[in-house]
Amino acid sequence: MSRRNGPPGEGAWRWAHGHLRDRNRLIYVALLVGVVLFPPVMGLATGVESATWVGTAADAGVFVLLAIGLNVVVGFAGLLDLGYAAFFAIGAYTYGMLASGLLSASPLHHEIHLPFWLLIFVGMFMAACFGILLGAPTLRLRGDYLAIVTLGFGEIVPTVFRNLGPGSPIGNWTGGINGISAIDPPHLPALLTGPFGFAKGLDFTDPSIYPIDYYVLMVVIVVGCVILVSNLYSSRLGRAWMAVREDEVAAAANGVNTVAIKLLAFAIGASFSGFAGAFYGAKLSLVSSENFSFVISVTVLLMVVLGGMGNIPGVIVGSLTIYSVLYVVLPNLPGYAQSAASAVGLGFLNQPGLSGNWSGLGDEVQRLNFLLYGLILVVVMVLRPQGLIPSRVREQELAKGTEEEAVFDLRET
Partner 1 sequence: MGIVAVLAAALLIPKISSEGGSLFLQFLVYGLANGAIYALIALGYTMVYGIIELINFAHGDVFTLGAFVSLPLLSVFGLTEGKTGIAVLGGLVLVTVLVMLITGVINMGIERVAYRPLRNAPRLAPLITAVGMSFVLEGIMYLWRGANNLHYPDLLPNLRISLGSGASISSKDVIVIVVAVVLVIVLTIFITRSKLGKAMRATAQDREAAQLMGIDINRTIAATFFIGAALAGAGGIIFGLYFNTVRFDLGFQSGLFAFTAAVFGGIGNIRGAALGGLMIGLVKAFSDGYFLSIWTDVWIFAILILVLVFRPTGLLGMQVPEK
Residues that bind partner 1 in the complex, under the rule CB under 8 A: 74, 80, 137-138, 140-142, 144-145, 147-149, 151-153, 155-156, 159-160, 162-163, 248-249, 294, 298, 301-302, 305-306, 309, 367-378, 381-382, 385-386, 394, 398, 401-402
Three-state secondary structure call for residue 309: coil
Contact 276, 69 (CB under 8 A): yes
Looking at the Cβ atoms of 38 and 373, the one nearer to partner 1 is 373
- Least distance from partner 1 to the Cβ atom of residue 319, Å: 14
- Least distance from partner 1 to the Cβ atom of residue 291, Å: 17
Could you give the CA distance from residue 252 to residue 270 in angstroms, rounded to a whole number? Answer: 24
Beta bridge partners of 180: 287
- Least distance from partner 1 to the Cβ atom of residue 265, Å: 16
171-177 contact pairs (CB < 8 A, 24+): 171/106, 171/107, 172/102, 172/105, 172/106, 173/97, 173/102, 173/103, 173/106, 174/93, 174/97, 174/102, 174/289, 175/96, 175/102, 175/287, 177/288, 177/289
- Least distance from partner 1 to the Cβ atom of residue 51, Å: 32
User: Distance of alpha carbon 394 from its chain centroid, rounded?
Assistant: 22
Looking at the Cβ atoms of 321 and 342, the one nearer to partner 1 is 321
Could you give the CA distance from residue 75 to residue 312 in angstroms, rounded to a whole number? Answer: 9
Looking at the Cβ atoms of 217 and 309, the one nearer to partner 1 is 309
Checking DSSP bridges between strand 99-100 and strand 112-113, what pairing results, if any? antiparallel
Q: Residue 197 is which amino acid? A: G
Residues in the chain: 413
- Least distance from partner 1 to the Cβ atom of residue 340, Å: 20
Looking at the Cβ atoms of 26 and 252, the one nearer to partner 1 is 252
- Least distance from partner 1 to the Cβ atom of residue 148, Å: 5
